[in-house]
Amino acid sequence: MQTIETTSGVIIEVEKGLIHFRYNKGLEISELQVVENLTHMEEYVEKYGKIKLILEIPSSTFDSSEAFEYLNEVKYKSEYTTAVALIVSSLAQKLNSKHYHTRVDADVPAEFFKNYTEALEWIKSI
């Protein structure tokens, strides 16, 4: 099992092909941090194939406008993942994430969860 510390959080390989990315608390995520995280995921995908992703965003963490715009441009969901489970704890995050995921037409299942256990159960069932 691999674990990679990034400037914005930690990437944990739960099992082969299943990644849990947990952002740090109290962070405004920059475009550079998004690029850093996607680079790590891209390297993993090149070695092992597309991943199932559990993305955990603490309530005090949010995307900067540049990061949000960059994500809209690159449409990361379809490039690296087969499914995305988002763990969000605030209504604002859920609305922001839902807005993003409705704008990115990637044919990848994406669901919202309140905790890691629920997210893991769902993503393993796919």
Residue pLDDT, tens place only, 46-82:
999 999 999 998 888 877 888 878 877 776 556 788 9
State the pTM of this model. 0.85
Angle subtended by helix axes 91-103 and 65-74, to nearest 10: 30
Rounded Cα–Cα distance for residues 34 and 32 (Å): 5
The DSSP letter of residue 125 is T
Domain boundaries, the chain: 3-124
For 16, the token pair is 């082969």
Q: What is the pLDDT of residues 11-32, one digit of tens each?
A: 999 999 999 999 999 989 999 9
- At the fourth CATH level, the homologous superfamily of domain 3-124 is STAS domain (3.30.750.24)
pLDDT of residue 11: 96
Cα angle at 120 between 9 and 123, to 5 degrees? 105
